[in-house]
Structure 1
């Protein structure tokens, strides 16, 4: 009986802590504009003067193609355009569950791989032994346009953070998250 009561309290607290996506706040870019669901963005460090640049993918270790998701160590590097979408069919991107993928690549959707020498790392599909789970976008600081990503496997979640080990790898840890803002990728004449 006591275990049933504890389980009920857990469910109540979980549902209270993670409200349904239909009531989630819209994600905003660095200028405070509401971002479009499925839009293209650069993910950039939130603090002016923070080390490093945007997010990109590179080839590390024994990869035959670029499968590792990293933060560029160069401040002037905006990274690669990333498509961020929600399974909730709204025009705007709500906080909560998101899918992330690099634009204009065959292997592009983000996933997570456990058991690597550097830890649990963010990779793109195509890497063996991926973990079943989901990415979530949440506001990192109230009253700002700063966000963080979480990766959840069931009820267990970790922050997406930067692990520096030669490369600036995105990893799932309990350390401080990589805090970022979004910058919309402007269409080019090739997109028209």
Structure 2
């Protein structure tokens, strides 16, 4: 436990650089939603597991560990739940086209009042020894290290769906994002050297419109 509590940002960077595969590919293609439509900056999308079933549902926010605010990104354990929609932004570009590998900011469209920001970030949870995804700012993680960088989307190795990655600012290394089950309200999304989280994107507006039609 003392070892975990003494983990530092430099240690995590060293581990990831030496052990994680690069979350980049030489094959660049436009990112599509589940219906084959291009993903565009500013649109709202659900991030869902590529393989639906007992593996859980979409991603949402929850409170974990000693954090006072529900700022940790969790995959809902219930496969029928879509979670909260996110929007993707290409820094410095208003419209643009999102390709695999494009540096992105990811944020929720809503946030709890206690969160400093809706934008995704990486924070280092020393208790469990994982670098996890959350929202907000450093003030939401007192005494906890946060990593600066940009997210990206990569085609999954299977050819179906995608996986998310994270590139640390000032480092050439891009890291994969997977899931970690800490017996909480949902599975955390975290930087990983193991199995990546295979996902698809569902346009929230289209989904809501189709749902309304189905119940009218």
Question: After the TM superposition, which residues 85-104 of structure 1 pair with which residues of structure 2 at under 5 Å, given as runs?
Answer: 85-87=89-91, 88-95=93-100, 96-104=102-110
- Mapped to 2, the partners of 1:36 and 1:147 lie a distance apart of 15
Q: For residue 186 of structure 1, what is the aligned residue in structure 2?
A: 205
Give the TM-score of the pair, scaled to structure 2: 0.70
Considering fraction of residues, name the structure with more strand.
1
Question: Aligned to 1:28, which of 29, 32, 40?
Answer: 32
Q: For residue 213 of structure 2, what is the aligned residue in structure 1?
A: none
- Mapped to 1, the partners of 2:52 and 2:149 lie a distance apart of 32
- Mapped to 1, the partners of 2:192 and 2:174 lie a distance apart of 9
- Mapped to 1, the partners of 2:47 and 2:118 lie a distance apart of 15
Counterparts in 2 of 1:85 and 1:24: CA distance versus 1, 3 Å: farther
- Mapped to 1, the partners of 2:107 and 2:43 lie a distance apart of 11
Question: Aligned to 2:153, which of 137, 152, 160?
Answer: 137
Root-mean-square deviation (CA), in Å?
2.3
CA contact (8 A) 1:100 1:110 kept: yes
Report how far residue 60 of structure 1 moved: 1.3
Deviations 1:148-169 (A, max 9, x none): 1111221223211110011311
Unaligned 5+ runs, structure 2: 1-23, 210-216
Where relative contact order (Cα < 8 A, 6+ residues apart) is larger, the structure is 2
Per mean C-alpha deviation after superposition, the further-off stretch among 117-126 and 165-174 is 117-126
- Mapped to 1, the partners of 2:148 and 2:70 lie a distance apart of 21
CA contact (8 A) 2:52 2:79 kept: no
Counterparts in 2 of 1:50 and 1:26: CA distance versus 1, 3 Å: farther
Q: For residue 81 of structure 2, what is the aligned residue in structure 1?
A: 77
Question: Aligned to 2:126, which of 116, 121, 128?
Answer: 116
The SS at the match of 2:31 is coil
Give the TM-score of the pair, scaled to structure 1: 0.78
